[in-house]
Structure 1
Amino acid sequence: MLRPMIFPSGFVTSRLRLRPIAAGDAEAIFAAYARDAEVTRYLTWRPHASLHETEAFVAASIDGPAHRTYVLTDPDGGSAFGAFDLRAPAAGHLSFGYVLARAHWGQGLMTEALTPVVRWALARPGIWRIGAVADIDNIASARVMQKAGLVREGILRRWLVHPSLSAAPRDCVSYAAVRD
């Protein structure tokens, strides 16, 4: 039997604070990125049409035994402008996903968020691998993972549905960092 993963209460960098998502974050998430079709283009969910949809998403993202969703804020803890989901799908493995409001693209913020998460994960006893996939056309996400020290492993054919792009599964590129 797998023991529940114990995720950290947050991460802090020079420009970011990652803290656990809370019900009160729904309005900021909806306003910043959840309804933006360009932001959600490569995600596994469509843009939200209403605040109610975002509230349901946030409620489902509140901590579970095998995942923790963090919101990205400035270091002082202002409004959420991104999210980072950390999951423990199997013993010894972590996976993640992330989203960032378009107004914050191109500033290196997601690499800044991912890098300490990778360091934390690989320093934990019993964690041997952390990885994620990016749609074959999502060059920006692939670059984030490369800059954070993950290595491209290969293409997973027909791996994930990105409903804003296609009803059929799309090819994804797998990236991971492993502990020796």
Structure 2
Amino acid sequence: MPIILPPGFETERLVLREAVAADAAAIFAEYASDPEVTRFLSFPTHRSVADAEAFLATCEAARKAGRSNTYVLTRRSDGAVLGVIDLRIETPFRLGFGYVLGRRHWGQGLMPEALAASVRWGAGQAEIWRMWAFCDVANVASARTMEKAGLRFEGVLRRWIVHPNLGPEPRDCRAYAWVREP
């Protein structure tokens, strides 16, 4: 049975809903234009709302193709955009994910809460055997986020990905995963 990603998730403090084109200005303002937030990400810091619009267009195309779903993290109390989580179907049994949170919201436990909800959902799907993500070896906060969400450290991926905001060379990354035991 193929993996079907849900339209969203809810937690105690958050609503995770599918990203839409109308989110571009909020995404740009909240995190995508902030060099401190984007330094460890796989895309250059956005220079305009048009960059966020292009990002959302690729998210929509991937969702329609059934390859991934990008969820906007919004605060339950007022609907404010805080960041995003992307779930990617990598194989018929494996999900990858990525995430980012606006700097004003760091240190409040919001991303571990959102990520844990995604992991709980995946763990409840019989066809999913593995969910995983990675972070730059220097991104200690992201490593802690994954650990708090229940993922286990698996090892270092040497020269795994280029983070364009840090330079042109591939960097080492730490891999974390949830794996269904046989």
Q: Is the partner of 2:35 in helix, strand or coil?
A: coil
Unaligned runs of 5+ in 1: none
Aligned to 1:137: 138
- The equivalent residue for 1:167 is 168
Q: How does 1:65-144 map to 2 (within 5 A)?
A: 65-76=66-77, 78-144=79-145
1:46-61 to structure 2, matched below 5 A, reads: 46-61=44-59
Q: Please report how far the alpha carbon of residue 61 of structure 1 lies from its aligned counterpart in structure 2 after TM superposition.
A: 1.0
Question: Which residue identity is paired with 2:52?
Answer: T
> Secondary structure of the equivalent of 1:110?
helix
Partner of 1:38, secondary structure, is: helix
Contact 1:17 1:73 in 2 (8 A): yes
State TM-score, norm by structure 2.
Answer: 0.95
Tell me the CA shift for residue 125 of structure 1.
1.1
Give the match for residue 178 of structure 1.
179
What is the match of residue 157 of structure 1? 158
Can you give the 5+ residue segments of structure 2 that lack an aligned partner in the other structure? none
| Alignment-mate amino acid for residue 58 of structure 1 | L
RMSD: 1.1
Q: Secondary structure at the match of 1:82?
A: strand
Q: Distance in 2 between matches of 1:148 and 1:33?
A: 21
User: How high is the sequence identity, in percent, across the aligned residues?
Assistant: 53
SS at match of 1:159: strand
Q: Distance in 1 between the 2:70 and 2:52 partners? A: 14
Give 1:76 deviation, angstroms: 4.5
* Distance across 1 between alignment mates of 2:86 and 2:56: 12
> Which amino acid counterpart does residue 99 of structure 2 have in structure 1?
Y
- Runs of 4+ that moved beyond 6 A: none
Q: Which amino acid aligns with 2:161?
A: L
In 2, the alpha carbon distance for the partners of 1:166 and 1:4 equals 38
- Name the amino acid aligned to 1:131: W
- Report how far residue 20 of structure 1 moved: 0.1
Q: CA deviation at 1:5?
A: 3.0
Counterparts in 2 of 1:59 and 1:77: CA distance versus 1, 3 Å: farther
Structure 2 letter corresponding to 1:28: A
Among 10, 15, 20, the alignment partner of 1:22 is 20
Aligned length, in residue pairs: 178
More helix by share: 2
Cα offsets for 1:119-163 (capped at 9, x unmatched): 110110111000000100000000000011100000000001000
How far 1:18 moved relative to its partner?
0.3
Q: Using the alignment, how far apart are the partners of 2:151 and 2:2 within structure 1?
A: 25
The 10-residue stretch of structure 1 (149-158 or 118-127) with the greater mean CA deviation from structure 2: 118-127
